[in-house]
Amino acid sequence: MADVVFDKVYKHYGNITAVKDLNIHIEDKEFVVFVGPSGCGKSTSLRMLAGLEEISEGEVSIDGRVVNNVAPKDRDIAMVFQSYALYPHMTVYDNMAFGLKLRKTPKQVIDQRVREAAESLGITPLLDRRPRQLSGGQRQRVAVGRAIVREPKVFLMDEPLSNLDAKLRVEARSFISKLHQRLETTFIYVTHDQVEAMTMGTRICVLNAGELQQIDSPFNLYHNPRNVFVAGFIGSPSMNFFDATIGKDDNGFFIDAGVFKLYIPKERTEPYEAHAGKKTILGVRPEDIHDKQYQPPGISPADVEATVDVIEQMGNEMILYLEREGKNFIARVDPRTEARIGGKTNFVFNMDNMHLFDADNESSLAYEWKQERDLAKIIS
**pLDDT score at 309:** 96
Which burial class, exposed, middle or buried, applies to 40 when counting CB atoms under 10 A from its CB (0-12, 13-18, 19+)? buried
Domain identity same for 245 and 183: no
Domain identity same for 307 and 213: no
Domain identity same for 135 and 263: no
- What is the C-alpha to C-alpha distance for residues 91 and 211, in angstroms, rounded to an integer? 42
Between 190 and 85, where is the model more confident? Answer: 190
Domain identity same for 191 and 289: no
Whether residue 205 has pLDDT greater than 80: yes
Domain identity same for 223 and 258: no
236-247: pLDDT as tens digits: 899 999 999 999
**pLDDT score at 265:** 93
Whether residue 276 has pLDDT greater than 80: yes
Domain identity same for 215 and 151: yes
Percent above pLDDT 70 for the chain: 98
**pLDDT score at 375:** 65
Beta strand 301-313 with 211-216 is unpaired
Phi, psi of 372 (to 5 degrees): -65, -40
The domain boundary, picked from 232, 258, 275, lies at 232
- What is the C-alpha to C-alpha distance for residues 81 and 89, in angstroms, rounded to an integer? 19
Domain identity same for 138 and 247: no
CA angle 348, 227, 12 (to 5 degrees): 150
Which burial class, exposed, middle or buried, applies to 358 when counting CB atoms under 10 A from its CB (0-12, 13-18, 19+)? middle
Domain identity same for 218 and 251: no
Domain CATH for 147: 3.40.50.300
The domain boundary, picked from 232, 267, 286, lies at 232
Burial string for 155-194 (b: 16+ CB within 10 Å, else e) reads bbbbbbbeebeeebbeebbebbbebbeebebbbbbbbbbb
**pLDDT score at 377:** 65
**pLDDT score at 380:** 61
What's the domain count of the chain? 2
Of 12-26, 75-89, 156-170, the range with the highest mean pLDDT is 12-26
Domain identity same for 345 and 309: yes
Nearest in space to 81 (alpha carbons), one of 108, 110, 43, 48: 43
Domain identity same for 266 and 286: yes
Whether residue 151 has pLDDT greater than 70: yes
Average pLDDT over all residues of the chain: 91
Mean pLDDT of 162-183: 82
**pLDDT score at 376:** 63
97-145: pLDDT as tens digits: 998 888 888 999 999 989 988 887 788 999 999 999 988 888 888 888 8
Phi, psi of 66 (to 5 degrees): -70, 130
Full residue range of the structural domain in which residue 166 is found: 4-232
Task: List Cβ neighbours of 329 (8 Å cut-off, separation of 6 or more).
Answer: 240, 242, 284, 286, 289, 306, 322, 323
Between 171 and 248, where is the model more confident? Answer: 248
Whether residue 73 has pLDDT greater than 80: yes
Domain CATH for 354: 2.40.50.140
CA angle 71, 77, 81 (to 5 degrees): 100
- pTM confidence score: 0.88
Domain identity same for 226 and 180: yes
145 C-beta neighbours (distance < 10 Å), count: 25
**pLDDT score at 266:** 92
323-347: pLDDT as tens digits: 999 999 999 999 999 999 999 999 9
Domain identity same for 217 and 244: no
Phi, psi of 3 (to 5 degrees): -95, 165
The domain boundary, picked from 232, 249, 277, lies at 232
Whether residue 21 has pLDDT greater than 90: yes
Between 212 and 100, where is the model more confident? Answer: 212
- DSSP code string of 99-157: HHHHTT--HHHHHHHHHHHHHHHT-GGGTTS-GGGS-HHHHHHHHHHHHHTT--SEEEE
Between 164 and 250, where is the model more confident? Answer: 250
